Structure 1
Amino acid sequence: MPLWIAVLAGLAQAASLALPWNGQPQWWLQIASLAVLAWQVRAGAPTWRRGALLGFVFATAWLCGTFWWLYISMHTYGGLAAPLTVAAILGLAAFLASYYALALGVFCRLAVVHRAGAALLFGAVWLLAEMARGWLWTGFPWGAGGYAHVDGPLAVLARYVGVYGLGFVTAVLAMLLVQVRASDLRSLRAWVLALGGLALLGLATADRHCAVELCHTPAVRAPAPLQLALLQGNIPQDEKFQPGSGVPLALQWYREQLDGASASLVVAPETAIPLLPQQLIPGYLEGIAKRYASGSQAVLLGIPLGDEAEGYTNSVLGARPGLTAPYRYDKHHLVPFGEFIPPFFKWFTQMMNIPLGDFNRGGLGQAPFAFAGQRIAPNICYEDLFGEELGVRFADPAGAPTVFVNFSNIGWFGNTVAIDQHLHISRMRALEFERPMVRATNTGATAIIDHRGVVTHQLERHTRGVLLGEVQGRGVDAQQGWAITPYAWWVSRWGLVPLAALAGAIVLVTALGAGRRGRGGTARNPDF
């Protein structure tokens, strides 16, 4: 089968995450494009080498089509030569695609005959490749297939298995679809299995509705919704750190908004203040702290902290009445090449004119910002890709976050589909934990996402303005009976180990079965 089919399927997988013309996810396209790959590695019993090649080509096209916008940060803003920028993006995509090449090489090597077994094995190796991409070398899981399902019928499964579990389910479904035969349409057993699957999905939906909307103690009333003011400075990225343009503009505009805001909680995005505290004019931060030290308002503000001796952090400062010292959150999951330089790659970063740094890493599971009866948990930029790390905060349900707040600046990537992709990532976290996700960004998407993953308020991207709205925290009081989701429960205790163990067990059992067949055993019946 020609490789160009795998290329087109990979590009369709990228488009399913956020269509280029409107940014909307397409769950059906994600399954369909993966089904094309499943058909290619299933039809004709290809060798493991052919399977690995198909996986590599599909994943390289998919990942290039997903994060092509890195070109803008490296070339437009970083000044890296266009050919080198293209080579760097292709190299990154190809490196990450090697995980999928290995996965599909293993799939074809084991050559499962049984159709249900093949579907489970395909889902297992796909899951292992997805998790490896999100974990190895600090992880870069941007564009995982499960994000295409924030609006689809499978979205309900996020509260049980998370985005990686969704990827497993969709891979299993894709392989099952390409193995359907005409005789299956006349098979009572096949119809029973299909209807049973739909019934289970319906029960999951009903259970979520009960857990999220109905199962609470009526006598206990939740605190009033938080009134929010989310600040979007829209400081041009090529001016943001320039002392003669972007810096004075940011300092003036954000200070004006912070002084004049009337909402309960005011949020300014990642590095809204683009200078270290010691570089600011005397009294600047102290004036903000004094403004929020009394009354009934609070502020969360993105700012870099530290010094040359102690190191630097990408941080959030918070102030509210009653605090004796400012609240502080330091970013834990740093961006490679942006916030730390991997070993042996300093030569590469020196070729770009981007203010890069080697930042210190904050602790995992830092305390939330307590305000107005809520436990507000910050995360900075692409930290919201790592649900297993956000989930650590749910180990003690009584102290679990009631609201997430994401502080971002993805102005590095222009007015592109990167904004839509990041919005859908935040929506997936809201679905997994059934907690609202508030987003304050420099250029977009500044938005309020409720606990159902629905965007209730959104500011037009690449405009300067303030988004006013409200958010209702979840799990405010143990007496309410707001249970944490099953995903939050198990991921806070064991991380992604249960999913890895499931996938590993499927591969191991399949390999043992293949070994018995190789010693003269009987092949399984290819029917379900």
Structure 2
Amino acid sequence: MRWHSIRMWAAAVLSAALLELPFPLAGPMPPWRSVFAWFGLVPLLWAILNPAMVDHPRPLRRAFLVAYLCGVFWYMGNCYWIRDTMLHYGEMPAGAPVLLLIGFSLVLGLYFGLFGLGVMLVRRATGKSNLALAAAPFLWVTLDLAASRITSVPWDQLGYSQVDNGIVNQLAPWTGVYGISFVLVAINALIAVGTVETSDRRRWLTSAVGVLLAATGFAGIAHQPAKSSTTTAAVLVQPNLDVGGDNDWSGPGEWDRHIAEFTHLASEQCKTYIAGIPQTGAPNGEIICPPYNTHPDLIVWPEAPSPFFEGDPRFQNSMAALTQSNQAPLIIGGLAADLSPQNEELDYNAAMVFGADGGRFGRYEKIHLVPFGEYVPFAQYLTFAHKLTGRVSKFTPGERRKVFRLNGHYYGIFICYEAVFADEVRHFAQLGAEVLVNISDDGWYGDTSAPWQHLNMARMRAIENRRWLLRDTNNGVTAVIDPYGRVRQSIPRHQIDALPAQYGFRDDITFYTEHGDVFAWLCAILSLGLMGWCGKANLRLAIQNKVRS
């Protein structure tokens, strides 16, 4: 029995390791690594449903703990960059960044634990492992939805691993990333039948079907949809400001020097860029120099540690001069403030919009703020948090999404972390945005996997809504993403640069854009109903066993 127990725990750790591989680890991910998502969950499913687990005196508790271990290890590996970020920029006490990563993983690992518990509940209630495996994709999607809606950390959900899969990601405009996760878990479950089913014929037949489907799905990385046409151009400025250093522009001549550099970058017309995703180290890929018009149709400055305050007359005058000289509207990240009815100052992380004539056109205030980065959640209860979070900001969340009409077309703007929330980004396209603009500062992540993970999640937003997406960042990855999630143009990270970006417009509405997480909610309703029925069945079983004893 002890050997069986060791194997179960080892299988959980193996699944955690396999499920790390289909995501970026320290740089851009080779598409072939997405294959691990098609079978990485199999060891965990075996650990939950093998006979030794089913016959355990406390199978529900053991299934929860085994899956929980897998989840904790997975989050610690996938989100290791939390430690690095807090260590370098959080001004936290020694050892606190490690404790924060462990605490983060212990909390979010509960979703894996609940998945294991749910699978075992079905197994106990029905007496059939194949029915438990059939329930697995519904349970997984339900918990992904909970991660988005309850803890607000839907980071690297399983479906993102297939962002380069031209066949499988066609589900996204219908189901969002949840449908892709569903398919992946379903294939894992089919393969897992071979490890837990007692009938040899059924075992080999079902597993063979699973492997065949996985191979077919993986073949989608070679599938390339037709190229989308480009009709216009923008300049995406990458200032590469040091997020942890002194970016004070108040010294003699500093403001003018920085604005002159900004103006120079904003006027970039024809230069080399990378056709695809920039690699770490020396750039590779096709280097080309496309022609552009005399003036860009849009200039974008990202979220960055720059002293751009909406109410500062010097800032307003500089932006008016820049837009007038380039005859182009401007989207620029900065800080804005209002007074509340109680005469309290409300500070916003905002994207401000200037017209080509230099006039202020409007602004979008970031709605979904980063917990412990831009605000402290439940601050009235977590009174100790300010000692751990160092330079945490205290922003006020915006209240509504809006689109801006520039040069006859509608643009939707979202900021940094908002890119990971599919059901929120879709509202911009639903409101009429013909192109999406994501401004971000990924400098906090350093040279970890996080900027590449963030990029892939933004790419999925383009796929779900079938929109061009202009992604402008402080220090990379600055890129143009087409409606099929392909990075068409980009520039290297960690350098002062600008990307003259070609893109197009679309106004068609996908099912996901119009209806959102309908598929995920259906999975949740079915899962909750199933858990209710299984809970009652397990309770009856427990009562019967107690009476017999």
Give 1:469 shift. 2.2
How many angstroms apart in 2 are the aligned matches of 1:328 and 1:368? Answer: 10
198 and 275 in structure 1: CA distance in 2 versus 1, 3 angstrom threshold: closer
State the SS of the aligned residue for 1:326.
strand
394 and 413 in structure 1: CA distance in 2 versus 1, 3 angstrom threshold: closer
How many angstroms apart in 2 are the aligned matches of 1:244 and 1:12? Answer: 50
The residue type equivalent to 1:177 in the other structure is I
Pairing 1:338–2:338 present:
no
Residue equivalent to 2:238: 232
Which of 349, 367, 378 is matched with 2:386 structurally?
349
237 and 156 in structure 1: CA distance in 2 versus 1, 3 angstrom threshold: same
Residue equivalent to 2:174: 160
State the SS of the aligned residue for 1:274.
coil
Give 1:473 shift. 1.5
State the SS of the aligned residue for 2:371.
coil
Pairing 1:501–2:522 present:
yes
TM-score (norm 1): 0.82
State the SS of the aligned residue for 2:384.
helix
4 and 82 in structure 1: CA distance in 2 versus 1, 3 angstrom threshold: farther
How many angstroms apart in 1 are the aligned matches of 2:237 and 2:245? Answer: 18
Pairing 1:459–2:491 present:
yes
Which of 149, 158, 173 is matched with 1:145 structurally?
158
Pairing 1:418–2:450 present:
yes
Which of 351, 357, 360 is matched with 2:396 structurally?
360
The residue type equivalent to 1:334 in the other structure is L
Which of 307, 314, 318 is matched with 1:283 structurally?
314
Which of 272, 284, 304 is matched with 1:271 structurally?
304
Deviation track 1:325-351 (CA, whole Å, cap 9, x = no partner) reads 422111111110111111233423334
67 and 200 in structure 1: CA distance in 2 versus 1, 3 angstrom threshold: closer
Which of 89, 97, 104 is matched with 2:116 structurally?
104
The residue type equivalent to 2:90 in the other structure is G
66 and 199 in structure 1: CA distance in 2 versus 1, 3 angstrom threshold: closer
State the SS of the aligned residue for 1:33.
coil
Unaligned runs of 5+ in 2: 270-294, 542-549
239 and 109 in structure 1: CA distance in 2 versus 1, 3 angstrom threshold: same
> For 1:21-32, what aligned pairs fall within 5 Å after superposition?
22-24=28-30, 26-32=33-39
How many angstroms apart in 2 are the aligned matches of 1:254 and 1:72? Answer: 30
The residue type equivalent to 2:12 in the other structure is A
Q: Is contact 1:232-1:269 (8 Å) kept? A: yes
247 and 33 in structure 1: CA distance in 2 versus 1, 3 angstrom threshold: farther
Deviation track 1:365-408 (CA, whole Å, cap 9, x = no partner) reads x221212332111110010111101122344xxx5221111100
The residue type equivalent to 1:489 in the other structure is E
Residue equivalent to 1:442: 474
Unaligned runs of 5+ in 1: 215-221, 476-482, 521-528
Q: Is contact 1:124-1:507 (8 Å) kept? A: no
Give 1:420 shift. 0.7
Give 1:169 shift. 2.1
Residue equivalent to 1:383: 418
Q: Is contact 1:232-1:465 (8 Å) kept? A: yes
Pairing 1:304–2:304 present:
no
Which has the larger displacement, 104-113 or 287-296? 287-296
How many angstroms apart in 2 are the aligned matches of 1:173 and 1:436? Answer: 31
Q: Is contact 1:118-1:175 (8 Å) kept? A: no
Which of 19, 38, 46 is matched with 1:39 structurally?
46
State the SS of the aligned residue for 2:22.
helix
513 and 291 in structure 1: CA distance in 2 versus 1, 3 angstrom threshold: closer
Q: Is contact 1:446-1:458 (8 Å) kept? A: yes
Count of paired positions: 488
How many angstroms apart in 2 are the aligned matches of 1:313 and 1:119? Answer: 46
Deviation track 1:3-45 (CA, whole Å, cap 9, x = no partner) reads 2432232133233211435434532212322222112112124
Pairing 1:489–2:501 present:
no
Pairing 1:85–2:97 present:
yes
The residue type equivalent to 1:144 in the other structure is Q
463 and 200 in structure 1: CA distance in 2 versus 1, 3 angstrom threshold: closer
Residue equivalent to 1:468: 500
How many angstroms apart in 2 are the aligned matches of 1:198 and 1:511? Answer: 36
The residue type equivalent to 1:410 in the other structure is D
How many angstroms apart in 2 are the aligned matches of 1:104 and 1:272? Answer: 43
233 and 321 in structure 1: CA distance in 2 versus 1, 3 angstrom threshold: closer
How many angstroms apart in 1 are the aligned matches of 2:73 and 2:487? Answer: 30
Give 1:498 shift. 4.3
115 and 432 in structure 1: CA distance in 2 versus 1, 3 angstrom threshold: farther
> For 1:324-335, what aligned pairs fall within 5 Å after superposition?
325-335=360-370
Give 1:179 shift. 0.4
Deviation track 1:433-488 (CA, whole Å, cap 9, x = no partner) reads 1111111001110001101110011110111111122011212xxxxxxx322222
250 and 357 in structure 1: CA distance in 2 versus 1, 3 angstrom threshold: farther
How many angstroms apart in 2 are the aligned matches of 1:237 and 1:432? Answer: 31
State the SS of the aligned residue for 2:444.
helix
The residue type equivalent to 1:8 in the other structure is L
Give 1:252 shift. 5.1
Q: Is contact 1:250-1:273 (8 Å) kept? A: no
State the SS of the aligned residue for 1:267.
strand
